[in-house]
Amino acid sequence: MRKTVFVFSDGELKRKHNTVFFETEDGEKRYLPIQDIGEIMAFGEITVNKRLLEFLGKKEVILHFFNYYGYYIGSFYPREHMNSGYMTLRQAEHYLDHEKRITLARQFVLGAAQNMIQVLKYYERRGRLGSEIRLIIEELADELDACHDTDELMGIEGNMRNHYYKAFDQILDNPLFRFEKRSRRPPRNHMNTLISFGNSILYTMVLSEIYKTHLDPRIGFLHATNFRRFSLNLDIAEIFKPIIVDRTIFTLVNRNQLTESDFEKEMGGIMLKESGRKTFVAEMDRKLSTTLTHEKTGRQVSYRRLIRLELYKLQKSLMGEEPYRPYVARW
């Protein structure tokens, strides 16, 4: 399976013969065999040229860019080799039809809720939590069927996450990583920094998986389609945040793999240093590579593969083959 390549150093990324070559400003050289690359995530200040972009496009490799603070800023998204006019029309049809759109959007929020509940149950069984927060989220999830538009769904989803995040302090019991309240751009404390960074990585990974399907990333259902951004990846990521991003955070904090020295104060908030980003992406990559038995097929699949399978389920639903039901973790 192709790997995600993370580039943290400053330097030049270019094509050399039939491979990708990276040379840092310090003169360190690294060859990256193109057949092993699924996507490249560039956090450092890198220089690229048209010859490299043509090569990446031919080999169907996406190049994602992040700024100095670790925020996603954009992607080199090659011409879609898998795009389908028929699928784009089906997506547009479901987006424009209110009932079809709300049905899909509701499933994305339901999937997020069910996976939040699974995470909470996991820690309840280990004596870290009581059942109070989980019961509140279950009650809120029961209200989803009564929602008539995406604003209502987003409101309930936000309410569920606010309650869910309150459980983090009990799960971790680490003063450095108190949640307090959700804050973004910039995150105001260490925990919010980890949540924002992890979510950003997941959004781009889902985008890369969409590229390998017939789906159009610009047409989402829960998150509104607009002129500026991709939205379908945000929809799918909602389902996987609790079981990929949040559990990555719990692992890193519980094992004391991140310390105060991995953070710095910037822009009125707190940001991860390069050391912290490297530690985070290494653990998240390990999590995505972890395999489990697929409920339907009985085969071993990775969490990364589960994202692709989720997209295939959505395709089938859009074509009218079977109703879409989100993935729910079974632990």
CATH number at residue 273: 1.20.120.920
Give yes or no: residues 45 and 115 share one domain.
no
Whole-number pLDDT of residue 228: 62
Q: Per the domain annotation, does 326 fall within a domain?
A: no
Question: What's the one-letter identity of residue 78?
Answer: P
In-domain check, residue 327: no
Mean pLDDT (whole number) for 262-291: 90
pLDDT in tens, 128-168: 888 999 999 999 999 999 999 999 999 999 999 999 999 99
Tokens of 237: 């990521």
Asked whether residue 331 is domain-assigned, the answer is: no
The confidence score (pLDDT) of residue 180 equals 76
Which of 54, 76, 98 is the last residue before a domain boundary?
76
> Are 218 and 17 contacting, i.e. CB atoms less than 8 angstroms apart?
no
Based on the fold, state whether residues 28 and 97 are members of the same structural domain: no
243 and 303: one domain? yes
Domain boundary among 46, 76, 106: 76
Kindly report whether the global pTM for this prediction surpasses the value 0.85: yes
Judged against a pLDDT cut of 80, whether residue 183 lies above it is answered with no
**pLDDT range class, residue 67, cuts 50, 70, 90:** confident
Q: Do 123 and 53 share a structural domain?
A: no
Mean pLDDT throughout 46-62? 91
| Residue 144 sits in the same domain as residue 102 | yes
Q: Which of 68-77, 148-157, 171-180 has the highest mean pLDDT?
A: 148-157
pLDDT bucket at 272, cuts 50 / 70 / 90: very high
What is the domain extent for residue 300?
85-318
- CATH number of the CATH domain containing 53: 3.100.10.20
DSSP for 168-237, please give it: HHHHH--GGG---S---SS-SSHHHHHHHHHHHHHHHHHHHHHHTSS--TT--SSSPP-SSS--HHHHHH
The answer to whether residues 36 and 101 belong to one domain is: no
The answer to whether the CB of 105 falls within 8 A of the CB of 153 is yes
pLDDT band at 227 (very low <50, low <70, confident <90, very high): low
Render pLDDT for 279-296 as a digit per residue (tens, 0 to 9). 999 999 999 999 888 777
For residue 76, what pLDDT is reported? Answer: 87
Write down the pLDDT at residue 99.
Answer: 95
**Residue 132 sits in the same domain as residue 224:** yes
Measured CA to CA, the distance from residue 305 to residue 209 in angstroms comes to 9
Q: Both 62 and 182 in a single domain?
A: no
| pLDDT above 80 (res 83) | no
User: Is 97 in the same domain as 198?
Assistant: yes
Task: From residue 284, give the alpha-carbon distance in Å to each of 134, 241, 277, 316.
Answer: 25, 11, 10, 29
Token code pair at residue 229: 């951004």
Number of independent structural domains in the chain? 2
**DSSP structure class, residue 126:** T
Residues 52 and 119 in one domain: no
Structure-token pair, residue 226: 């607009």
The residues, any chain, with a CB within 8 Å of residue 28's CB and separated by 6 or more, are: 9, 11
90 and 225 co-located in one domain: yes
Residue 81 confidence (pLDDT): 66
Average model confidence (pLDDT) across the chain: 90
Q: Which of 76, 101, 121 is the last residue of a domain?
A: 76
> 245 and 107: one domain?
yes
Instruction: Answer whether residue 330 is part of any domain.
Output: no
Lowest-confidence region among 27-36, 155-164, 225-234, 285-294: 225-234
Residue 268 within any structural domain of the chain: yes
